[in-house]
């Protein structure tokens, strides 16, 4: 989230698209209710199903799964055509005036530089044209044909309401009504918030879906303002924390990059991370990258990390490919290239696509270690449960170790919510049986491996042996100790850079913010964005003062929000170029003539003068981007791409299948169907009654939603002879499931490309363990392909077929 | 003097943490089933109400979960029968239930109307009227209608008495069960569990006055959004209720899973518990008394000796007419 | 053998003085089971009928017991009365003289028996009691089954309307009204049996005096007298 949950109450218009906040985020949805009740805000829902969010919406429109980019580009086109643009914002805070290289182009749904062999683009041309001063050339008139503005106008030209209706199945009148409602928020005193979740990410072009809306929000001047923003609703209570501390193969904490093989030493690694400003006076905050990286390595190896050894850079793993994402790992596992797999708080047998392939992959392992508070399906992948898990147990040789862990209510620590709030919690119960905290288990493994290295030696012992481990109890670091390490502290006394006699921080003291981190080895901090969470003043995450003097939902004294306790990112953009709030009734910060003041922490240097420093300080341009340069693998503008399994050809390029740069493993391409065999579009989703695959273990949740079902329209039910509550078989090219049929008016066939498209809705919550009835999930059916940038599986749009089944089968 | 818990003003506020004595006393009872002449209470508690704003409800079932947890009930894990309602109906173990209705409005737009069903806590409770067991159903001066299982005989009359089809008979405990409006929570200054759990504050709780004021605010908002017939459901046919709804279509309550348009205690129940009861008992009493008196003061219908003689003659004569008949004695 | 006015088993036991056997032992037992059931039902039913009588449930062990015992006795009453019905229905069919008897109801009450027509085994009043009981018991058993909480699901497959709440409300009302009715009939029945002296022994010892039969049911007596010609009227099947 750029904003916070509590900030949603400040909005005038909520657009829920690519998510179902009422269903999947009912507690956060209270802020939508607040905005509606107390501000008279309107709610728009765009979704293939008339869902729980739609039930309380002011306006709803259906959309074919996987066609969101067309819809969003259509809205942008409409806004431009009808001059629904927040011009002061767009001209001053975005890159619309910048010129793009001459060799950049777009044709047949593709950008310049496509290499079909590699399934990737040569992105050289996706770049600004720089002037002789090294700065990007800006055409303030926005008339230059290679200005981002003109390129954008050209890019969205094709997305007419008719095009949108044809591709998305959204009736034109509904689409236009939504355009009008959205267009109203181009006023400086009206804002719109975008709430989205897996409905946008779980596509082979998920990142571009989100960029589409982000661009629309920029056009309307809704980024950085109260009640605006791009608000990703995170699906687990701490999934934000997971990405923050870099639990991805290509990241290290604080969104720093894991070194690559092509970066053999620290100097080379840093050479591409200079982030020289692209416009005069810009902060380009990533220029501080080195401080964060060195502090991170100092946190890992303490005194062993020195300037001489590049702060231990050699001891970091080096990626030989872009990333070892989960799907790649499971593919390798299936190919017999993985021996041991640690599965910690994760149930991939139910959460990753093509369950048959997952079972095959686990069967190839020598050892599977499952750390979980619950008896997961993954840990029991080898058990035969009839149709629910039809495996040949005797042929599976994998050894499975289950290590029971504590659950969130049984341990202490912080969880990070969607609004980046690190909220501390305390143990509310004693763990049952032999359950131990994940930290204890990991520590025990570490201590034993360390002992093995000490006694027996081995390859590359340094990363383990040199690890700083100065916890009071080396057998079990406390949550507070780990949090203090993430925050960082001074290793030697820090003096002011301009006045060497002035002590900034004494040795051993906690830093109060990432501004104190240094690249000379004098500070350590394991996750720079968390700096400030546990300072000399104590545990900021444990603060529970719910006062909000400004009434803006800022709650500065409640927990800690990264970065720097800032509640709304880019909040400099909530003021006009002179520093006056766009809407005087909704003030986050303002320029008082000397500095930035207000209820929120300014997202800019407090003394940075208006009209000098741009509001998007993390970008070298200081502005936000309609044209995203080389940052996305699938293009600097979002372009309509069909799902890999789609009921229609891409009108921009009928030859193009799915996302042309999404990675597809050879076996999996063969496992993808066409609409000739599988005419129905399936989409997966969550239900309020359950939380992922956890709550089926809980009696009360099982009562509220006991049994697996699929949702279909009355029209499809009639066509197939399916009765409400009857059993159906749903199958894709990869597997089959049996489910009860919920026949509803809330799903209607849509007309796309002149043909009716039927949608089959498949919720995710059932398996063969727990209190609820045994069932299946959509992952049995889904295709093994993910987003081109971040490899999130394409669970929201794939093809299936359906037929009535006899009751006895399941 | 014992410190009593304050009367709750909202469900959102955190309750007092120190132990406080119940504020819902036996002397606050204003009506008792099958009991005439309940003494007038010494004090009048503020009338309370739970307001269910259907337009804010997202059907998440948090209220159901909270209800199960607080009341420690154990509804069965049922099947899916093609709808979102689970359990499929109110049960003796499930005091509240989200009911989902798909409605195509005259403009052709779909509406998914979700209503939390459960006891309405009528000002004039049909269950209490129908109940034959003294003290099994009581009404407090704050409006809460509560079932007292210790006095319940499980006859099911309350089921027939209720205009909303709410009470359910527990088939093994043989007592009637329904929402208590968390009288046990309200007694110690807290609001109902469902209201506390509701994430969107579609369920709120407080004095009836405050809830009506809140409802009016909501109705105004709904009217501004084009729901011309938005209104409060506080049916006067049962004297008003202590569970009220804000409806977008207050003119058609039936759209919401058959919420009664104009609920009242059925005239059949009224006459059963009214005229029949008194007139019937009077008739029986009079008949019995009359019979006894008449029996005491009349001489009775006596057979005379002459008649005995005539009978003998008749028998003998008949035998004489038929001489072939063998004399038995 | 003629049984126009009498039941099989009715016979003259002795002639000096005349005693007439009116009810066999089995019939008497049947009657008293029915009577006892009705009394228990009345008491237990009244305890639920009016709050002021709820204390009566204490006789059975409380309201919870009444909840199941009352309908259980109801079943006993129904079956028991059904057996009585089989034995008595024929002689309770209305006849012409019943109209005359009703027309002279004043004489009945005043005991002016000589102004009344000669009657068979039952007079119109007794017949009224019989048919009223029959009708009310039918109503009570039907409505009783509808409001018997435990048995409501039984209706679902066969007559779902009967399990609906509106139907149950009507059943409750009809049950209550019928119960009042049957208690009134019961009072009438008991009172008449006591007021008409010499009647009770028909249901205790089983016989009545000849004078009683002559006074109240002369046609019945005549027929039994005639039937005495039969060689073995105990073993001869009815004609």
pLDDT tens readout for residues A722-759: 999 999 999 999 999 999 999 999 999 999 999 999 99
- The pLDDT score that the predictor gives to residue C110 is 83
Mean pLDDT of all residues belonging to chain A: 96
What integer is the mean pLDDT of A674-691? 96
- A365: which residues sit within 8 A by CB, 6+ positions away? A333, A338, A339, A340, A341, A398
Is B316 a member of any domain?
A: yes
Residue A142 domain-assigned (yes or no):
yes
**Which residues, numbered 7 to 66 in chain B, qualify as contacts with chain A under a Cβ-Cβ cut-off of 8 Å?**
55-62, 64-65
Full residue range of the structural domain in which residue A392 is found: 326-407+427-436
Kindly identify which residue of chain B lies nearest to residue C212, measuring between CA atoms: B303
The CATH number for A690's domain is: 2.40.40.20
The answer to whether A18 and A683 have CB atoms below 8 angstroms apart is no
- In this complex, the residue of B34, B155, B269 whose CB is nearest that of residue C51 is B34
At C170-180, the pLDDT tens digits run 999 999 999 99
CB atoms within 10 A of CB B169: 21
**C234 close to B (CB below 8 A):** no
> End-to-end CA distance of chain B, in Å?
92
User: Hey, which bits of A288-446 come out as E strands?
Assistant: 340-344, 367-372, 399-404, 413-416, 421-425
> Would the CB atoms of A703 and B60 count as touching at under 8 Å?
no
> Subunits that touch chain B (at least 3 Cβ pairs < 8 angstroms)?
A, C
List, for residues A554-576, the tens digit of each pLDDT value: 999 999 999 999 999 999 999 99
pTM: 0.94
Decide if pLDDT at C230 tops 60: no
B154 touches chain C (CB under 8 A): yes
3-class secondary structure, C84: helix
Q: Does one domain contain both B146 and B279?
A: no
**What is the average pLDDT across B281-294?**
93
Question: Using an 8 Å Cβ cutoff, are A591 and A27 in contact?
Answer: no
**Cβ atoms < 10 Å from Cβ of A547:** 9
- Closest listed residue to residue A789, CA positions, set A241, A331, A325: A325
Same domain for B193 and B279, yes or no, is no
Q: Do the domain assignments include residue A551?
A: no
A222 and A356 in a single domain? The answer is: no
Contact between A218 and A225 (Cβ < 8 Å): no
**Average pLDDT value for residue range C80-95:** 95
| Same domain (yes/no): B100, B149 | yes
Q: What is the mean pLDDT of residues B151-173?
A: 96
What is the pLDDT at residue A23?
95
A229 and A336 together in one domain: no
Q: Is C115 on the interface with B (CB under 8 A)?
A: no
Q: Residues B250, B281: one domain?
A: no
Of B62, B80, B82, the CB nearest to A706: B80
Predicted confidence band of residue C229 (pLDDT cuts 50, 70, 90): low
In the predicted model, is pLDDT for residue C205 greater than 50?
Answer: yes
| Least confident segment among A219-233, B145-159, B200-214, C103-117 | C103-117
Judged against a pLDDT cut of 60, whether residue A385 lies above it is answered with yes
Give me the mean pLDDT over the A500-509 stretch.
95
The whole-number pLDDT of residue A274 equals: 84
Task: Please give the ipTM for the structure prediction.
Answer: 0.94
To the nearest whole Å, the CA of B32 is away from the closest chain C CA by 11
One domain for residues B160 and B296? no
Query: What values do phi and psi take at A220, rounded to 5?
Result: -90, 0
Which residue from A309, A352, A107, A88 is spatially nearest to A220, judged by alpha carbons?
A: A88
| Same domain assignment for residues B308 and B167 | no
Q: Please indicate, yes or no, whether residues B202 and B313 belong to a single structural domain of this protein.
A: no
Under 8 Å between Cβ of B98 and B114: yes
Question: In this structure, is residue B194 part of a structural domain?
Answer: yes
Cα–Cα distances (Å) from A406 to A85, A245, A400, A429, A471, in that order, read 51, 20, 19, 10, 21
Q: Measured between CB atoms, which of B60, B80, B218 is closest to A709?
A: B80
Q: Please say if the pLDDT value at position A810 is more than 50.
A: no
The pLDDT of residue C238: 42
Answer yes or no: is B16 within a domain: no
Within 13 Å and on the Cβ side, how many CA atoms surround C174? 19
Q: Would you say residue A362 lies in a domain?
A: yes
**Pairwise CA distance, residues A170 & A711, whole Å:** 20
Cβ separation of B316 and C170 shorter than 8 Å? no
Q: Are residues A41 and A183 in the same domain?
A: yes
For residue B17, being part of any structural domain is answered with no
Which residues in chain B have Cβ-Cβ distances shorter than 8 Å to A708?
80
Question: Across residues B57-66, what is the average pLDDT?
Answer: 97
B9 occurs within a structural domain: no
Same domain, A194 and A50: yes
Lowest mean pLDDT across B16-20, C48-52, C183-187: B16-20
Instruction: Output the pLDDT for position A808.
Output: 53
Residue B89 has pLDDT above 90, yes or no: yes
Examine the domain organization and report whether A82 and A195 are in the same domain.
Answer: yes
Same structural domain for residues A227 and A367? no
Query: Is A420 inside a domain boundary?
Result: no
For residue A777, which of A636, A702, A682 has the smallest C-alpha distance?
Answer: A682
Residue ending a domain, among A218, A235, A252, is A235
Question: For residue B95, what are the domain limits?
Answer: 26-265
Q: What is the mean pLDDT of residues C18-24?
A: 93
Give the integer Cα–Cα distance in Å for A184 and C53: 72
- Whether B3 maps to a domain, the answer reads no
Which whole-number Å values give the CA distances from A256 to A227, A293, A527, C174, in the listed order?
Answer: 29, 7, 9, 81
* B314 and B260 co-located in one domain: no
| Nearest CA distance, C86 vs chain B (angstrom) | 29
User: What's the rounded mean pLDDT across residues A165-188?
Assistant: 98
Distance of residue B283 Cα from the nearest chain C Cα, in angstroms:
8
Q: Is residue A26 part of a domain?
A: yes
pLDDT band at A141 (very low <50, low <70, confident <90, very high): very high
pLDDT band at C231 (very low <50, low <70, confident <90, very high): very low
Of the residues A235, A255, A274, the one at which a domain ends: A235
A132 and A16 in a common domain? yes
Please give the positions of C annotated as active site. 189
Cβ contacts of C176 on chain B, cutoff 8 Å: 272, 276-277, 280
Q: Are residues B160 and B301 in the same domain?
A: no
C165 in contact with B at a CB cutoff of 8 Å? yes
Tell whether A228 and A333 lie within a shared domain: no
**A-B interface: how many C-beta pairs under 8 angstroms?**
126
Rg (CA), chain C: 21
Q: What is the pLDDT of residue B328?
A: 42
Domain total of chain B: 2
pLDDT digits (tens, 9 = 90+) for A305-362: 999 999 999 999 999 999 999 999 999 999 999 999 999 999 999 999 999 999 999 9
Question: Out of C17, C57, C191, whose CB is closest to B308?
Answer: C17
Question: Is residue A379 predicted with pLDDT exceeding 80?
Answer: yes
Same domain as B238, residue B278: no
Q: In this model, does residue C84 exceed pLDDT 90? A: yes
- Mean pLDDT confidence for C187-196: 93
Q: Is residue A566 part of a domain?
A: no
- Pick from A235, A262, A294: which residue ends a domain? A235
For the beta carbon of residue A584, count every other beta carbon within 10 angstroms.
9
- The domain total for chain A is 3
C12 to chain B, any CB pair closer than 8 A? The answer is: yes
d(CA A481, CA B224) in angstroms, rounded, equals 54
Could you tell me if B150 and B213 lie in one domain?
yes
C154 — pLDDT class (breaks 50, 70, 90):
confident
Give the confidence band of C90 by pLDDT, cuts at 50, 70, 90: very high
pLDDT computed for residue A497 by the predictor = 86
At residue A37, the pLDDT reads: 95
Tell me, yes or no, whether A353 and A231 share the same domain. no
CATH number at B79 reads 3.30.70.20
CATH number at residue A374: 3.40.50.740
pLDDT value at position A237?
84
Return the pLDDT at B16. Answer: 74
Query: Which pLDDT score, from 0 to 100, does residue C40 have?
Result: 98
Q: Is residue B204 part of a domain?
A: yes
Structure tokens at B57: 């409800």
Q: Let me know whether B227 and B91 are in one domain.
A: yes
SS (H, E, C) B82-105: CCCCCCCCCECCECCEEEEEEEEC
A152: domain CATH number is: 3.40.228.10
Contact of C225 with chain B, judged by CB distance below 8 Å, is answered with yes
| Beta carbons of B82 and A724 less than 8 Å apart | yes
Q: What is the pLDDT of residues A637-678, one digit of tens each?
A: 999 999 999 999 999 999 999 999 999 999 899 999 999 999
Confirm whether B134 is domain-assigned. yes
**pLDDT for residue A749:** 98
State the average pLDDT for chain C. 91
For residues A587 and A241, what is the distance between their CA atoms, to the nearest angstrom? 28
- Is there a single domain that holds both residue A44 and residue A182? yes
């Amino acid at each position: 989230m750029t904003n916070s949950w509590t900030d949603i109450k400040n909005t005038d218009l909520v657009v829920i698209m690519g998510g179902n906040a009422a269903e999947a985020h009912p507690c956060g949805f209270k802020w939508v209710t607040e905005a509606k009740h107390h501000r008279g805000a309107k709610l728009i829902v765009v979704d293939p199903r008339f869902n729980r969010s739609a039930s309380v919406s002011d306006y709803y429109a259906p959309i074919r799964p996987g066609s969101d980019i067309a819809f969003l580009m259509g809205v942008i086109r409409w806004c431009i055509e009808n001059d629904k643009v927040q011009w002061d914002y767009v001209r001053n805070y975005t890159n619309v005036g910048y010129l793009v290289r001459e060799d950049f182009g777009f044709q047949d749904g593709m950008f310049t530089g496509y290499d079909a062999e590699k399934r990737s683009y040569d992105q050289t041309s996706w770049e600004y044209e720089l002037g002789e001063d090294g700065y990007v050339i800006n055409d303030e008139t926005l008339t230059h044909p290679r200005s981002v503005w003109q390129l954008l106008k050209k890019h969205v030209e094709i997305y007419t309401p008719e095009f949108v209706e044809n591709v998305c199945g959204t009736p034109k009148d509904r689409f236009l009504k939504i355009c009008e409602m959205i267009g109203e928020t181009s006023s400086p005193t009206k804002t719109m918030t975008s709430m989205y979740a897996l409905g946008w990410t779980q596509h082979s072009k998920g990142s571009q879906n989100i960029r589409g809306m982000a661009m629309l929000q920029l056009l309307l001047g809704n980024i950085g303002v109260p009640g605006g923003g791009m608000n990703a609703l995170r699906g687990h209570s701490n999934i934000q924390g997971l990405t923050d501390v870099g639990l991805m193969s290509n990241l290290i904490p604080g969104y720093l990059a894991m070194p690559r093989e092509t970066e053999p030493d620290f100097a080379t690694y840093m050479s591409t991370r200079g982030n020289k400003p692209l416009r005069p006076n810009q902060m380009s905050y990533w220029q501080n990258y080195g401080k964060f990286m060195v502090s991170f390595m100092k946190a890992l190896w303490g005194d062993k990390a020195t300037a001489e050894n590049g702060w231990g850079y050699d001891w970091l793993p080096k990626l030989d490919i872009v990333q070892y994402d989960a799907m790649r790992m499971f593919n390798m596992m299936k190919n017999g290239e993985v021996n041991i797999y640690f599965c910690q708080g994760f149930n991939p047998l139910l959460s990753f696509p093509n369950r048959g392939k997952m079972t095959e992959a686990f069967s190839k392992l020598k050892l599977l270690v499952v750390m979980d508070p619950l008896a997961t399906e993954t840990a029991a992948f080898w058990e035969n449960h009839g149709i629910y898990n039809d495996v040949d147990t005797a042929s599976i040789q994998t050894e499975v170790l289950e290590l029971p862990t504590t659950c969130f209510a049984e341990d202490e620590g912080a969880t990070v919510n969607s609004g980046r709030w690190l909220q501390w919690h305390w143990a509310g119960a004693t763990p049952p049986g032999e359950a131990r905290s994940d930290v204890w288990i990991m520590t025990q493994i570490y201590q034993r491996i360390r002992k093995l290295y000490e006694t027996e030696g081995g390859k590359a012992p340094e990363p383990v042996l040199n690890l700083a481990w100065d916890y009071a109890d080396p057998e079990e670091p406390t949550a507070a100790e780990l949090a203090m390490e993430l925050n960082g502290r001074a290793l030697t006394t820090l003096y002011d850079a301009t006045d060497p006699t002035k002590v900034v921080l004494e040795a051993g003291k906690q830093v109060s913010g990432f501004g104190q981190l240094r690249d000379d080895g004098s500070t350590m901090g394991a996750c720079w964005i968390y700096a400030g969470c546990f300072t000399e003043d104590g545990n900021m995450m444990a603060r529970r003062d719910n006062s909000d003097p400004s009434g803006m939902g800022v709650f500065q004294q409640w927990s800690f929000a990264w970065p720097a306790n800032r509640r709304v990112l880019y909040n400099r953009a909530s003021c006009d170029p002179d520093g006056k709030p766009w809407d005087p009734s909704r003030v986050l910060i303002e320029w008082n003539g000397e500095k930035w003041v207000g209820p929120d922490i300014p997202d800019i240097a407090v003394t940075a003068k208006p009209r000098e420093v741009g509001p998007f300080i993390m970008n070298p341009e200081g502005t936000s981007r309609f044209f995203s340069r080389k940052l996305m693998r699938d293009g600097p503008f979002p372009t309509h791409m069909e799902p890999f399994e789609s009921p229609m050809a891409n009108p921009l390029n009928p030859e193009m299948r799915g996302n042309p740069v999404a990675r597809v493993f050879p076996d999996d391409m063969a496992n993808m169907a066409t609409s000739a065999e599988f005419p129905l579009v399936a989409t997966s989703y969550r239900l309020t009654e359950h939380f992922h695959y956890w709550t089926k273990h809980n009696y009360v949740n099982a009562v509220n939603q006991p049994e697996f079902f699929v949702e279909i329209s009355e029209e499809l039910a009639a066509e197939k002879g399916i009765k409400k509550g009857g059993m159906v078989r749903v199958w894709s090219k990869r597997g089959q499931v049996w489910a009860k049929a919920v026949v509803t008016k809330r799903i209607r066939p849509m007309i796309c490309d002149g043909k009716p498209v039927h949608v089959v809705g498949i919720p995710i919550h059932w398996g063969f363990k727990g209190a609820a009835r045994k069932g299946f999930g959509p992952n049995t059916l889904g295709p093994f392909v993910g987003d081109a940038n971040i490899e999130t599986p394409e669970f929201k749009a794939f093809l299936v077929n359906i037929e009535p089944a006899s009751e006895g089968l399941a | 003097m014992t410190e009593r818990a304050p009367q709750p003003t909202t469900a959102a506020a955190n309750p007092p943490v120190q132990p406080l004595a119940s504020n819902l006393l036996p002397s606050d009872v204003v009506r008792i089933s099958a009991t005439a002449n309940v003494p007038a209470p010494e004090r009048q508690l503020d009338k309370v109400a739970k307001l269910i704003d259907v337009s804010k409800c997202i059907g998440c079932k948090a209220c159901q979960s909270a209800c199960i947890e607080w009341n420690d009930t154990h509804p069965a894990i049922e099947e899916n029968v093609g709808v979102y309602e689970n359990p499929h109906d109110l049960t003796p173990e499930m005091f509240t239930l989200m009911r989902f209705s798909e409605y195509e409005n005259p403009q052709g737009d779909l509406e998914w109307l979700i209503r939390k069903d459960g006891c309405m806590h009528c000002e004039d409770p049909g269950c209490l009227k129908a109940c034959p067991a003294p003290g099994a159903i009581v009404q407090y001066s704050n409006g809460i209608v509560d079932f007292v299982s210790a006095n319940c005989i499980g006859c099911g009359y309350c089921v027939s008495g209720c205009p909303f089809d709410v009470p359910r008979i527990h088939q093994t405990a043989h007592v009637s069960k329904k929402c208590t409006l968390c009288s046990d929570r309200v007694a110690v200054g807290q609001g109902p569990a469902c209201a506390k759990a509701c994430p969107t504050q579609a369920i709120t709780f407080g004095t009836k006055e405050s809830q009506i004021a809140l409802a009016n605010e909501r109705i105004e908002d709904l009217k501004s959004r084009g729901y011309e017939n938005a209104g409060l459901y506080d049916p006067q046919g049962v004297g008003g209720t202590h569970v009220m709804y804000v409806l977008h279509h207050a003119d058609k309550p039936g759209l919401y899973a058959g919420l009664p348009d104009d609920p009242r205690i059925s005239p059949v129940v009224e006459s059963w518990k009214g005229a029949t009861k008194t007139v019937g008992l009077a008739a029986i009493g009079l008949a019995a008394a009359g019979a006894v008196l008449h029996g005491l003061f009349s001489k009775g219908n006596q057979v005379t000796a002459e008649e005995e003689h005539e009978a003998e003659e008749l028998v003998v004569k008949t035998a004489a007419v038929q001489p072939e008949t063998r004399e038995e004695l | 053998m003629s049984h126009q006015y009498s039941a099989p088993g009715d016979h003259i036991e002795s002639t000096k003085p005349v005693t007439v056997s009116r009810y066999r032992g089995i019939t008497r037992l049947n009657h008293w089971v029915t009577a006892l059931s009705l009394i228990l039902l009345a008491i237990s039913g009244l305890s639920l009928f009016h709050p002021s009588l709820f204390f009566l449930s204490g006789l059975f062990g409380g309201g919870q017991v009444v909840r199941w015992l009352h309908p259980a006795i109801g079943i006993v009453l129904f079956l028991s009365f059904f057996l009585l019905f089989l034995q008595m229905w024929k002689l309770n069919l209305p006849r012409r003289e019943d109209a005359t008897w009703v027309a002279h109801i004043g004489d009945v009450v005043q005991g002016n028996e000589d102004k009344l027509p000669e009657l068979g085994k039952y007079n119109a009043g007794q017949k009224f009691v019989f048919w009223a009981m029959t009708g009310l018991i039918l109503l009570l058993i039907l409505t009783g089954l509808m409001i018997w909480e435990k048995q409501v699901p039984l209706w679902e497959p066969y007559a779902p309307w009967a399990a609906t709440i509106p139907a149950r409300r009507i059943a409750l009302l009809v049950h209550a009204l019928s119960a009042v009715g049957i208690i009134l009939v019961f009072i009438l029945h008991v009172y008449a049996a006591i007021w008409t002296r010499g009647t009770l022994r028909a249901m205790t010892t089983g016989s009545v005096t000849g004078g009683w039969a002559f006074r109240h049911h002369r046609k019945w007596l005549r027929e039994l007298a005639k039937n005495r010609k039969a060689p073995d009227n105990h073993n001869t099947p009815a004609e």
